[in-house]
C-alpha cells in the first residue's frame, strides 16, 4: 500500500494527517520541497499559491524547474495530481482576502517581506514560517524556534522589527539558520533550501498531530 510505512509510523494520527488542509504560499526552493514531503506523507488536501514561471536559474534548487518558461503552480499540479493550484501574486492585497480559517496549517515560504508580515499579522495562529535559506551551505545548522528567539538570521530580525512596529504580540514558529552567509549575491544550495522545506513539512505534521480541534 502506498502509505503503509507512514501509517506504521504515525499510527492513529495518520487519519488526521490525511484529512488536514494545508496551504503553501510560495513554491520555490523551500516551498516545492515542503509540497513534495507533505504529498508523500499522505496529506490529501494541499493548496499551493505562486505567480512565478520557471527560469533556468531555478534549476539548482526547485522541483519542477526543468519546465523552463512554464507557470510553477501548473507544473506542480501535473507532478502532484490532486493538489489545488492558485496562480496568484502573493501581495498585501491578496493576503487581506485570504480566509486563514479554511486551513489547518499555513506554510509561509514568501520572499516578499511586506506580504509575509501581512500574513503573519492575520494568520499567525496556524502559520509556520520560513526565514532566510539563501547564501548558506550547512543544513545541520537549521533550527526551529519562536520568531522572538531566532538568532543570527538578518531576515528574521527584519520581520521582528516590522511586527513590533505594528504592535504584534503573538507568537509562531519559524525555520531559520544562524549560519553566516557564504556570499553577497543570490547564492543558494538545495541542500539547505530543500532541507528548510522538509523541516517545514515535519513541523506541519507535528502541528496536525497535536491539533485538538474537532
Q: Do residues 42 and 17 touch, judged by C-beta distance below 8 A?
A: yes
Task: Match 526551529 to its residue by C-alpha cell.
Answer: 144
DSSP 152: S
Domain span holding position 171 = 4-210
SS3 48: strand
Q: Do residues 127 and 118 touch, judged by C-beta distance below 8 A?
A: no
C-alpha cell at 2: 502506498
- State how far the Cα of 53 lies from the Cα of 76, in Å rounded to an integer: 11
Q: Please say if the pLDDT value at position 44 is more than 80.
A: yes
- For 163-202, what is each residue's pLDDT tens digit? 999 999 999 999 999 999 999 888 999 999 999 999 999 9
Which are the contacts of 72, defined by CB distance < 8 A and separation ≥ 6? 27, 28, 32, 50, 52, 53, 54, 62, 64
- Which one, of 112, 116, 119, 98, lies nearest residue 47 by Cα? 98
Task: Match 520572499 to its residue by C-alpha cell.
Answer: 111
Q: Do residues 35 and 164 touch, judged by C-beta distance below 8 A?
A: no
The neighbour count for residue 27, using CB atoms within 10 Å, is 28
In the chain, the largest separation of any two C-alpha atoms, in whole Å, equals 51
DSSP 144: E
- For 80-107, what is each residue's pLDDT tens digit? 999 999 999 999 999 999 999 999 999 9
Alpha-carbon Rg for the chain, nearest whole angstrom, is 16
Question: Per-residue confidence at 213, pLDDT binned at 50, 70, 90?
Answer: low
Share of the chain above pLDDT 90, in %: 96
- State how far the Cα of 177 lies from the Cα of 116, in Å rounded to an integer: 18
Phi/psi of residue 25, each to 5°?
Answer: -100, 105
pTM here is 0.96
The neighbour count for residue 162, using CB atoms within 10 Å, is 16
Total domain count for the chain?
1
C-alpha cell at 50: 505562486
Question: Per-residue confidence at 211, pLDDT binned at 50, 70, 90?
Answer: confident
Q: CATH code at 184?
A: 3.40.50.720
Q: Do residues 141 and 179 touch, judged by C-beta distance below 8 A?
A: yes
Amino acid at each position: 500500500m502506498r502509505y503503509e510505512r507512514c501509517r506504521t509510523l504515525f499510527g492513529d494520527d495518520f487519519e488526521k494527517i490525511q484529512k488536514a488542509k494545508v496551504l503553501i504560499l510560495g513554491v520555490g526552493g523551500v516551498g516545492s520541497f515542503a509540497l513534495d514531503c507533505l504529498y508523500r506523507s499522505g496529506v490529501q488536501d494541499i493548496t499551493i499559491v505562486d505567480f512565478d514561471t520557471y527560469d533556468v536559474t531555478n534549476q539548482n534548487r526547485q522541483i519542477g524547474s526543468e519546465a523552463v518558461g512554464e507557470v510553477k503552480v501548473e507544473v506542480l499540479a501535473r507532478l502532484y495530481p490532486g493538489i489545488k493550484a492558485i496562480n496568484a501574486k502573493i501581495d498585501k492585497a491578496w493576503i487581506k482576502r485570504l480566509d486563514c480559517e479554511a486551513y489547518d496549517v499555513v506554510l509561509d515560504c514568501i520572499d516578499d517581506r511586506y506580504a509575509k508580515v501581512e500574513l503573519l499579522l492575520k494568520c499567525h495562529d496556524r502559520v509556520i514560517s520560513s526565514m532566510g535559506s539563501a547564501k548558506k551551505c550547512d543544513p545541520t545548522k537549521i533550527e526551529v524556534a519562536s520568531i522572538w528567539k531566532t538568532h543570527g538570521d538578518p531576515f528574521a530580525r527584519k520581520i521582528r522589527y516590522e511586527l513590533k512596529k505594528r504592535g504584534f504580540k503573538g507568537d509562531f514558529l519559524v525555520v531559520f539558520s544562524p549560519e553566516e552567509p557564504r556570499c553577497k549575491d543570490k547564492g543558494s544550495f538545495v541542500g539547505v533550501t530543500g532541507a528548510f522545506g522538509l523541516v517545514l513539512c515535519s513541523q506541519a505534521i507535528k502541528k496536525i498531530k497535536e491539533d485538538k480541534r474537532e
